Structure 1
Amino acid sequence: MTSVTTARQPAAGRGVLRDSRWRTWAGTVECAPARTVRPTGEEELVRAVRKAARDGLSVRAAGTGHSFNRLVPTSGALIDLTGYTGIVALDTAAGEVTVRAGTRFTELCAGLHRRGMALPNIGTLAEQTVGGALSTGNHGTGLRHRALSGDVTRVRLVTADGRVRGVGPGDEAELWGAVRCGLGTLGVLSTVTLRCVPQFRLRSESATERLDALLERFEDWAAGSEHPSLGWLPWSDQVTVRSVDRTDEPVTPGAGFRRLAATLDEVRCGVTGQAARLAGAEAVPRLTARLGGLWPDGPYVDASHRVFTFAQPVRFLAMEHALPLERTPDALRALRTVLRQLGIYSPYSVLVRVGAADDVPLSPAYGRPTGYVNLTVPRAAGQVEILRAVEPVLRDHGARPHWGKAHTATAEVLAGRYPGWAEFQRVRSRLDPSGMFAGPYTDTLLGPAPAPVAEPAVAAGRGAR
């Protein structure tokens, strides 16, 4: 095993602290914590949790603030993990990398690439932290790949009693399942060990197809590429399908510029959203047509992490729901009807990705191959109406919301959609019997902290220190 320590640098794109207030990346949610702690080592993290317990303060952990709801805000102690970063250890033979929970994927992927390794699959946003992504069920795309939780081999967790617990697949099954998507309600993640693979290259290529034709063969399309996705502008009958697959081809000259096209498209969406404030949301299709097609598009090959991710400099709001794969086509047909009746459009494409079934109780992909449907809108009141119109449609098709994105689901709605709901609640009642890591928003999502139950005996030599 190779031990590695990387420089701890301030995280770009992080949740903002200003005048003792904390704000999300999108700037739409904020709070004024009684105390903010910025640990750079595990001992500092443990002391912060123990001190909050002595002072009777609730605790929430924060990364770069890319959640769009009130998952982080607290009036108690806020533990800002953006300074708690870096690769702790890399075992290339075993294919495992251990990182501090505040490490951004940008830093992790670059560090792995320098050592000839890579993560097998990640989402598009490289500025989020490993701990935040894991805690909210984050994912990439591909029916051969589970969410990020599927690549976790061990975690270290600081619990309400101030202990550091190492948890892995050889430990109690309910605990191992719960800690890989806990919404920050089981404790504060200290380190995460992830599966990694020898570095590889990906070829990305796009094509257009009629929406109805694609929906007729949706499951075949989803299985036809290792990392498929599609983008759809709801006023159009065409979709852009993207296939991303491993290749031995060399990196394409100018690949970075091709990748920049995705960022430029984000900027175009932001400009269109601002223009629509004056011209009206009904003008979005016309504005999109005028501002589109200004940058090169076409197949290219690059290192995996550079194809998976791209810079997203424009602030926005996003909602994503995870549906049973086989129900995703009908959900998209229903969305088309509702959005066209509404007559208000977002300049951002509806993004559809897919994923394998997961075994983590609160994973939105638990127990079923999944279609992920993401809607993004500019930060404008009129555009938020789109999300309000869409959410009940997705819910009617068996959807579970992404824990870090905009939604209005409560425990009454959610409990029946997760077969492992009671399992998670049992772990929660054991690890946090006083509700130290809970708050008004998590109580809305999960219900109040359950009554305490006895903690099973820890096997000798395992689990805690």
Structure 2
Amino acid sequence: MISEAKWANWAGCEQADCSVLTPRGTDEIVEAVRDAAAQERRLRPIGSSHSFSGIARPEDLQLRLDRHAGVISIDTTTGLVTVEAGMPLHRLNDILAGVGLALPNLGDIDRQTVAGALATGTHGTGTRFSTISAQLRALELVTADGEVLRCSPTENPYVFEFARVSLGALGVISTVTLQTVPAFALRVREVSLPLAEVLADFTELAEGIDHFELYWFPHTDRVQTRYKTRLPLEDGLAPLGRMRTWFDEELVANDVFRMMVATGRRVPAVVVPLNRVAVRLWGSRTYTDRSERVFITSRRVRFKEMEYAIPRARLPEAMRRVRDAVENAGWRIPFPVEIRVLAPDDIPLSMASGRETAFIAVHVPARAEHAAYFGAVERIMADYGGRPHWGKLHGLDVHGLRRVYPLLDEFAALRDRLDPKGMFSNGYLDRVLGRVGAASG
């Protein structure tokens, strides 16, 4: 059944009118795809709409997988878990915790669906850990002709290689099988340090801890560092108390921060002193909790984001240039810059493909102008072979992306073979991959 709806992504920077399909089960997905093909309509699969880029924007039909979000199987011996593609990460985390399992690494937001996180290359942090896509062991893909392809390293392995980060361009992912690990805890130490000191010791800091990340508030000379060490659950937990959690995560990180951002938008001159207040509010803390509770952060202040991946060794130099660009331009930036790291992987369209990687993510309020700030940072990232996050704002097209993704044209050729009429495409995919059937070069 088709309904009409107005669609917007989480940040509100992408909007569209569309017709909506909500299938349940792979058979209904196949039926929806075949009907769309017969009518020569474009159909865009959608997850939780958390991407900032136009990757999920529907131009005709939108396929929502809210009703296709169940558990198919859990094997606690092997750790292999198969779920329907619309399963949100926060629900999956709860389900896994209930059977003593966990995903080995997570980003700091869990609102995405499993398929959406895989399609955009969602990642966490840690020099010895990889993207969520690297945890994929098998999937089912409904292609434009309604065929269900079962893909794994041994079944349709070529499609599987590219489908691990698919951009939603190869078809509709129906089910996924992920490799989980026994549930574990994370001991967290958070401390504010001088930016110059952290950049000077960046390699040692990143390699010396399981999961390392830092946040720099523009217009200050300090960063908030987070060190997360993996521990067995049996060692015991020492979580933050209820009042401390409410104060840090809800009052300061959301309510107070929201007021600071709103005040800065009305009176830009106060952004600098407010950022310096924020640095003091952060302070230091140490606690131990379950991994899924530590990895995830509550984000209720809406923003727009751009994130680039560069070779890890170049991060200190690049970050100094970002700092200088912000200060020299006279902008007033109320959101922190986030820095994370990741191990190399072998996934063609992964941001960490083939190299030790560091990420620089920049943010502005959801209704603020972003072009000048993001554009300046993007030009810096280009000097380091920067790769943009597919689900976040960036200005590159297929010509620029070929320079940093050597297998981009090979991916586009596979897309053309599986979807020769461009049923699953949209304006964003036409920009980053080229139009379906277009000659390479």
The two structures have a TM-score, normalised by structure 2, of: 0.93
Residue aligning to 1:432: 419
Q: Give the whole-Å Cα distance in 1 for the aligned partners of 2:133 and 2:145.
A: 25
Asked if 1 retains the 8 angstrom alpha-carbon contact of 2:218 and 2:275, the reply is no
| Paired residue secondary structure (1:203) | strand
Gaps of 5+ in 1: 1-17, 453-465
Partner of 2:253: 265
The CA deviation at 1:329 is 1.2
Give the conservation status (yes or no) of the 8 Å contact 2:44–2:61: yes
The equivalent position to 1:119 in structure 2, one of 79, 103, 113, is 103
Q: CA deviation at 1:273?
A: 1.6
**What is the CA-CA distance between 1:61 and the residue it aligns to?**
0.8
SS in 1 for 2:44: strand
Provide Cα deviations, 1:1-38, integer angstroms capped at 9, x if missing partner.
xxxxxxxxxxxxxxxxx9721111111211112x2101
Structure 2 residue 414 is the aligned partner of structure 1 residue 416? no
Aligned equivalents of 1:259 and 1:155: distance in 2? 38
CA displacement at 1:68 relative to structure 2: 0.7
Query: Corresponding residue for 2:48?
Result: 64
Matches within 5 A, 1:445-460: 445-450=432-437
Distance change >3 Å, CA 387–CA 213, structure 1 → 2: same
**CA deviations over 1:290-334 (Å, ceiling 9, x no partner):** 466558851111111000002212211111001111111111011
Residue 174 of structure 1 deviates from its aligned partner by 3.0
**1:136 equivalenced with 2:128 (yes/no):** no
Secondary structure (helix, strand or coil) at the match of 2:28 reads helix
| Aligned 8 A contact 2:416 2:436 in 1 | yes
Structure 2 CA distance for partners of 1:241 and 1:433, relative to 1, 3 Å: same
Measure the CA separation in 2 of the matches of 1:172 and 1:295. Answer: 49
Q: Percent identity over the alignment?
A: 37
| 1:107-158 residue CA offsets vs partner (Å, 9 max, x unmatched) | 0000010111111111010111111110001101011111111100001111
Which deviates the most, 111-120 or 257-266? 257-266
Separation of aligned partners in 1, 2:384 and 2:335: 22
Aligned 8 A contact 2:218 2:334 in 1? no
Does structure 1 residue 323 correspond to structure 2 residue 310? yes
Decide which moves more: 112-121 or 258-267.
258-267
Change (3 A) 1:48 1:66: same
Work out whether residues 84 and 174 of structure 2, in 8 Å CA contact, stay in contact via their aligned partners in 1.
yes
1:172 Cα deviation from its structure 2 partner? 4.5
The alpha-carbon deviation at position 416 of structure 1 amounts to: 1.4
Q: Secondary structure at the match of 1:235?
A: coil
When normalised by structure 1's length, the TM-score is 0.89
Q: Which residue matches 1:211?
A: 195
CA distance change for structure 1 residues 69 and 156 in 2, over 3 Å: closer, same or farther? same
2:271 aligns to what?
284
Letter in 1 for 2:71: I
- Distance 1:24-1:319 versus aligned 2 partners, 3 A rule: same
Question: 2 CA distance for matches of 1:291 and 1:399?
Answer: 29
Query: Whole-Å Cα distance in 2 between the matches of residues 428 and 382 of structure 1?
Result: 34
| Equivalent position of 1:398 in the other structure | 385
Counterpart position of 2:16: 31
Contact 2:219 2:275 in 1 (8 A): no
Residue 451 of structure 1: how far off its partner (Å): 6.4
1:149-180 Cα offsets, whole Å, 9 max, x none, are 11000011110010111100113443121111
Aligned pairs (5 A) from 1:197-236: 197-236=181-220
Segments of 5+ residues of structure 2 without an aligned counterpart are none
| 1:431-455 residue CA offsets vs partner (Å, 9 max, x unmatched) | 1122111122211111111369xxx
Report whether the alignment pairs 1:193 with 2:177. yes
